[in-house]
Every structure is written in C-alpha cells, then in structure tokens.
Chain A
Amino acid sequence: MLFLQLLVNGLQVGAIYALTAAGFSLIFGSTKIFHFAHGATFAIAAYLFHFALVGLGLHWIFAVAVAATSAVVFGVLLDRFMYAPIQRHEGSFFTVFVASFGIGIVVQNLLGSVFGRGFMSVPTPLSNSVEVVPGLYLSPLNGLAIMCAIACFAALHFFLTRTFVGKGLRALSENPELVRTFGLSPRRLSTYAFALGSLLVVPGAIFTAAGTGINPAVGHHVMLISLAATIVGGIGSLRGAACAGLLIGVAENLAMWKLGTQWSEAITFAILFFFIIFKPSGFFGRATVS
C-alpha cells in the first residue's frame, strides 16, 4: 500500500513538475533564451498567492488571478527590459544566463526579506487526506493537481496547434529567419512565449503553496527540475519535457520507499546523468550538437 501511496503522491508532484518544465521548455525552445529566472517566476507566483489568500484574505479565485497576473507580468517585463536589451547587442548563452541568474538571486532574497525565510503553506481543507482504501490516503488536492495539469496540457496543445500565435511560436523554434521573412516579429512572439511559459508555472506554484509548502529557495529546486526535465525530455520538445517532469516526480516519490526524503533531489540528478550518458538527445530530442 505504501507503494500505491507513493505512486499517487508521485503523480501529483509529477503533474506539477510537468507543467513547470513545459513552461521552461516552451520559452527555451522558441526564443533560445536560457531563462534561469523561471524558478523566480514560480516563487513570485507562489508567494503572492499565499499573500493574497492569507495576508489579504481574498477569495481564492482572486488569489489565483493575482498569482497568474504577477507571473505573466514578471515574465514579460524580464523579456522586454532585460533579455531584449541584451539580445540587441549580442545575447550569447553566457550573458543571458548570467543576467537571468542575477534576477533569480534578487527575487529569492527579496522574497526572503519581505515574507521571511521559513517554510510557509496555505491552510486549506482540500489538503486533508481521507483513507480511501486501508493504508492509502488521498486528498482532494491530489486529484485536483492532476486534473488541472491535464486541462492545461489540453489547452496548451490546442493553442499551439490551432491558433495563429501558437503556430507562430512553433515556427519560431524551428526557424527564426523564416518567421521574419514571413512578416512576423520574433520579438513579439518572444513576448507571447514568455507570457505563456510564465503562466504555466502558476498551477504548480499554487499547488505547491497549498501542499508541501514554499520557501524562498524554491526557485532553485524548480530550476533543477525544469532543467533536468528539459534535457531528459529532449531540448525543444514540450511533450518530452512534460513526460520527463512526470517521470521525475514519480521517481522522486518512489525513491522514498527505500531511501530518506533528503535523497529525492539525488534521484533527479541520477536520472539526468543517466540520460546525459546514454541518451543525450532525450526522449523526443533532435540533434544535440550546438
């Protein structure tokens, strides 16, 4: 029964990881920007959700709206005022990564100074577990997180295959020159990519805030997962990132069957290394030579 319990927990965590990793992968795939501050977006959304719900006592719908707005605004602001000026004069991997990393440090410390450095979580009746079968405890949050992830992926798939902007984003990841020739602006598409990619962290941020809790360093953990999932899934493949996120979430939780909780990040690292050694192109990746 412990196995089943861990599997259910793993699916919940995996669904959240999948969404977050898909956001990173979408931004990285279409704009080629190594958006290390993606973890910071996650932390901002989670903290502002907590603040709106607990601090201001708003209804949860408004709290979700606050989280979503803040994530999108943060992502778009970074794209407009940080990445765009950098890319105007060069925009190598090095400069983009360092700037993004710098923002991540600033956000982590700002959140720590404003909200405190301890763990915080949102108290909600949804996280109360019920014993469904002897030894198997389920909370409404388990189901909600998984359903929400499925709904988000369906919407994302629809957006990317059916709408004009979605097709433009996919085209951008294939060939930016051709997009420009076609009369679309890669800069505008890049803004859309950041808005959408940042929006995808919101469910994860909310469910983490309501479930296991958040601390200012959560951004680094989110980045490790997103990076690992993007590489394991294959760079540029959203589907791959999502599957890999799910795999990492399940593996982390199943590992607790035999090992202590402190080893869960080690499992992520082991999976990442396994793929780097044996299948560097990932699940669905294309060529890996830069």
Chain B
Amino acid sequence: MTAYILNLLVLISVYAILSTTLNFIIGYAGIFSLAHAVFFGIGGYTAALVAMNVTPEFFVAVPVAMAAAAITSLLLALPALRVRGEYFVAASLGLQVLAVTLFSEWKSFTGGIGGVIGIPAVELFGYPVYQPWQFLLMSLICLTIIIVIIRTLVHTSFGRSLKAIRDSESAALASGKNITVIKTLSVVLSSALAAVAGALYAFYMSFINVESFMLDTSVLVMAMVIIGGTATILGPLLGAALLMLMPSALTYLTFLPQTEIGSIQQMVYGIAMVLLMIFRPGGIVSSHPGGNK
C-alpha cells in the first residue's frame, strides 16, 4: 500500500511539473500548445540516452535534456509565434503528430515502438537514487524549484510583459515590447522545464516508450491546467492531483466496466472542460471568478 501511494505521489509530482510549466505559457502568455508531451518525451529520451551512454549523474543528464527540449521548441516557436494565436495551436498539433511518428521510427534515439529499456538509476553527485521515497523527495524538490522560478518570473518585468501581451498584443506592441522575443523565450523556458519532468519520469520508470508522449498526454496536461485554473500557481497542482487520482478513484466504483476506465476518465475531463468554460472559465482555482480573460 505504501509503495502504491508513493508511486502515485511521484507520478503526481512529475505531472505537476508538466502542468505548472504548461500553465506558464497558457495562463501567463496566452499561448496554446498541444505539443507539451513532445518536450516531455524529448527530455525523457535524452536523459535516458545520456544516462546509458555517458553518466547517470542528475546534474549532467537533466541539463542536457533541458537543452535538447529548448532547441526543439525554438524550431516550433520561431516561425509559429510570428503570427496569430490560431497558428500556434495548428503548428503545435502538427508537431505533436510528427513527433509521435519520429519517436516510433527513430530507432537509434528512441528504440522505436519498443522504447528504451534498462535506464540506470539516477545519481546525485555519485550517490544512486533508487528508493521510491528518495525519488519522491527529489521530484518534489524539482517541482518546488520550478514553481519558485515561475513565480519569481511572473512577478518580474518579463512576467508583466507576458501578461500585457496576453491581454492585448497591440497595446503591448505599442508600448515598445518586443512581442516575438518575449513569447519565444517563454515557450523555450516552458519546454526546457518540461524536459525536467521527462528526465525524472525516465529515471523513475527505468523504461520509456512512445505511449507516454502521445497527443493524449498533451491533452491530459492541458486539461490539468484548465480544470485546476489558469494563471494561478495552485491551479495546475490541484489539476494534476485531481486528474492523476481520478483513475484510481474510478476503480473503486465497481459498477463501471473496468476496461473502459481510461475512456471514462477522458470523458469526465472533457465534460469538465466544457462545463467550466461555460460557467467558470478561470478554472477551479480562479484568479478572476466569473472570468474576464
């Protein structure tokens, strides 16, 4: 039972990192990405590759994973952010679809459909971390650091510029903000931090394959952000916890067909998204009740 709870907590903290970083661009910059799972995946695969071929040292594998995700996100952000919001949704959806093909075809990097097996335990300054509670501690520390980074950024001039762009692009442009640079930086930062979640996930599972990085994951993370509440710190955390606990909660409802749990979960958050948008667009933890964004 303890192992079960620890496992759930580790996964919640990994997904909380994803939802927090996605919230940074959705909530504060108003950029809609359907490709967050791509950067999660790049982080995971890169960290696995570094750990298996170079060193399982945390402070080597994670920065390399972050760099790889940052560079990839630049390829998406540079062209797609020059134009209006709908373009980014389309481009990120395209990138997500393309990435799934690449992840399942590029055998030397991702191991194809079979995935990467036998990722060694991560080391912190040479000490291997393999106990679940050690791992939970490590992911919670990562989550805390990321929350602090984002919280601090949001309150700097960079964060204020982001929110200005979100609320009115032309007004921000008129006040001399370099919109493209600011938006691109925010996407790159969010993707690099999402790679941390990918690395943690790869080390924790010691096996990864393309299944974890498909469009469904991007959608799940987006649902966490939206249901929890955009542009808040607490919202994405609550969203991640709720949606990760839901499948286990659903298994207690024995009248539901157990093979359909995955579907039922997706239907529940689909309906939740629709109802929230009609009645409470800010999400559960709403920064503006009634919604004026």
- Interface residues in A73-118 by Cβ distance below 8 A to B read 82, 85-86, 89-90, 92-99, 101-106, 108-110, 112-113
B237 to chain A, nearest CB (A): 19
Tell me if B97 and A265 are in contact (CB < 8 A).
yes
Q: Spot the interface stretch: A142-150, A196-204, A221-229.
A: A221-229
Q: Does B253 contact A (CB under 8 A)?
A: no
Complex CA gap A202/B50 in Å reads 49
A106 to chain B, nearest CB (A): 4
CB neighbours (8 Å) of B291 from chain A are 89-90, 95
Known: A92-B293, A109-B263. A82 touches B278 (CB 8 A): yes
Tell me if B82 and A106 are in contact (CB < 8 A).
no
CB neighbours (8 Å) of A93 from chain B are 85-86
B152 to chain A, nearest CB (A): 25
Q: Does B188 contact A (CB under 8 A)?
A: no
The listed residue (A85, A89, A109) touching B266 by CB distance below 8 A is: A109
- What bracket does the count of chain B residues touching chain A fall in? 35 or more
The listed residue (A85, A104, A265) touching B98 by CB distance below 8 A is: A265
A213 to chain B, nearest CB (A): 18
Q: Does A160 contact B (CB under 8 A)?
A: no
Tell me if A105 and B277 are in contact (CB < 8 A).
no
- Interface residues in B82-115 by Cβ distance below 8 A to A read 82-87, 89-91, 93-95, 97-98, 101, 104-105
Known: A101-B273, A272-B91. A224 touches B97 (CB 8 A): yes
Q: Does B289 contact A (CB under 8 A)?
A: no
Tell me if B278 and A112 are in contact (CB < 8 A).
no
Q: Does B135 contact A (CB under 8 A)?
A: no
Q: Does B74 contact A (CB under 8 A)?
A: no
CB neighbours (8 Å) of B85 from chain A are 93, 290
CB neighbours (8 Å) of B293 from chain A are 90, 92, 94
CB neighbours (8 Å) of B273 from chain A are 98-99, 101-102, 105
CB neighbours (8 Å) of B274 from chain A are 82, 99, 102-103, 106
Known: A98-B273, A273-B91, A276-B83. A90 touches B101 (CB 8 A): no
Considering the complex, give the chain A residue whose CB is closest to the CB of B215: A220
Interface readout for B67-92 with A: 1 if CB under 8 Å, 0 if not? 00000000000011011111101110
Q: Does B140 contact A (CB under 8 A)?
A: no
Complex CA gap A89/B223 in Å reads 22
Tell me if A90 and B281 are in contact (CB < 8 A).
yes
Tell me if A102 and B98 are in contact (CB < 8 A).
no
Between B80, B104, B223, B273, the greatest number of chain A beta carbons within 10 A of the residue's beta carbon is seen for B273
Tell me if A272 and B90 are in contact (CB < 8 A).
yes
Q: Does A181 contact B (CB under 8 A)?
A: no
Tell me if A266 and B93 are in contact (CB < 8 A).
no
Tell me if B94 and A273 are in contact (CB < 8 A).
yes
Q: Does A262 contact B (CB under 8 A)?
A: yes
Q: Does A56 contact B (CB under 8 A)?
A: no
Known: A94-B32, A109-B263. A235 touches B86 (CB 8 A): yes
Considering the complex, give the chain B residue whose CB is closest to the CB of A290: B84
CB neighbours (8 Å) of B104 from chain A are 262
CB neighbours (8 Å) of A97 from chain B are 32, 89
Q: Does A60 contact B (CB under 8 A)?
A: no
Q: Does B30 contact A (CB under 8 A)?
A: yes
B91 to chain A, nearest CB (A): 6
The listed residue (A89, A106, A112, A269) touching B97 by CB distance below 8 A is: A269
Known: A90-B292, A104-B270, A272-B94. A99 touches B215 (CB 8 A): no
A256 to chain B, nearest CB (A): 14
Complex CA gap A94/B273 in Å reads 12
A260 to chain B, nearest CB (A): 8
CB neighbours (8 Å) of A101 from chain B are 219, 222, 273
Q: Does B51 contact A (CB under 8 A)?
A: no
- Interface residues in A209-265 by Cβ distance below 8 A to B read 220, 223-224, 227-228, 231, 235, 262-263, 265
- Interface residues in B237-293 by Cβ distance below 8 A to A read 260, 263-264, 266-267, 269-274, 276-278, 281, 290-293
Q: Does A1 contact B (CB under 8 A)?
A: no
Tell me if A105 and B267 are in contact (CB < 8 A).
yes
CB neighbours (8 Å) of A289 from chain B are 84
Extra 18 A-B pairs, beta carbons < 8 Å, given A34-B89, A269-B94: A82-B278, A98-B226, A98-B273, A98-B276, A99-B274, A99-B277, A102-B269, A102-B271, A102-B272, A105-B269, A110-B263, A113-B260, A227-B93, A231-B90, A265-B98, A265-B101, A269-B97, A288-B83
Interface residues of A (CB under 8 A from B): 34, 82, 85-86, 89-90, 92-99, 101-106, 108-110, 112-113, 220, 223-224, 227-228, 231, 235, 262-263, 265-266, 268-269, 272-273, 276-277, 280, 288-290
In order of increasing CB-CB distance, the 9 nearest A-B pairs are A102-B273, A105-B270, A269-B94, A99-B277, A106-B270, A227-B90, A109-B263, A290-B84, A102-B274
12 examples of A-B residue contacts, CB within 8 angstroms = A34-B86, A86-B281, A90-B281, A101-B273, A102-B277, A105-B267, A105-B269, A113-B263, A220-B97, A276-B80, A276-B91, A290-B85
